[in-house]
Amino acid sequence: MHPNPAFRSTPREASLAFARRRGFGILSVNGSEGPLVAHVPFTQDEAGTVAHLHLLRSNPILAALETAQPALLAVSGPDGYVSPDWYGVDDQVPTWNYVAVHLRGTLERLPQDQLEAVLRDLSESFEQRLAPKPVWRSNKVDRVTFERLLRAIVWVRLGIRTVDSTWKLSQNKPVSARLGAANEIESGIGQDLAALAALMREVTAE
């Protein structure tokens, strides 16, 4: 997380809400030879205390979960390069704006008999956002095929202990400079630049 307090003032609830909406992150635990990492979709409860996810049985992270382990789920948002020319003020340097939320806690394996319900919640949380498309449900898959797929994955849960976030949106610049950068960043370099520009403008309006 960025050390500048200007980028670290977003309330816990807002960061949790962002992570919940994003629903995809990088899971990391310590392995015997170094960090183990997996890119995973997840669901998060409204209270922000638990994230549910699943892993393939062949994932090395599962070998490290004979007992519950400390883990990090890193959730990234929009990001983009900021040219100093966009500020309209002198003596600036290039930087990169971004949003990131880190959920730290304890990762554990859970009983397989509840896996199907967890997967149903996961798929429906995303399918509902595609309205008016009808929600896809697992009963569209042959039961034998579906059960074979279930056997290939394992349900794990992250008990969320701490939430850290960086919302680096040029808050440390004059308002006019921040807006100037927001107006230019959409045609720049990065990911989801329109959303990043909107966040930079929202910060300005606070």
190: alpha, beta or left? (left if phi > 0; alpha if psi -120 to 50): left
**Token digits for 135?**
């929600």
The Cα–Cα gap between 45 and 194 comes to 28
- In the block, tokens 């995973």 appear at 40
The Cα–Cα gap between 174 and 89 comes to 9
49: alpha, beta or left? (left if phi > 0; alpha if psi -120 to 50): alpha
Distance from CA of residue 145 to its chain's centroid?
30
Name the helix (H) or strand (E) containing 20: helix 12-22
Helix-strand-coil percent breakdown of the chain, rounded to 5? 35, 35, 30
**Residue-wise pLDDT tens for the chain (206 aa)?**
888 999 999 999 999 999 999 999 999 999 888 899 999 999 999 999 999 999 999 999 998 888 889 999 999 999 999 999 999 999 999 999 999 999 999 999 998 888 998 899 999 999 999 999 999 999 999 999 999 999 999 999 999 999 999 999 999 999 999 999 999 999 999 999 999 999 999 985 55
Query: Where do the domains of the chain lie?
Result: 5-111+154-199
Q: For 5-111+154-199, which CATH superfamily applies?
A: Electron Transport, Fmn-binding Protein; Chain A (2.30.110.10)
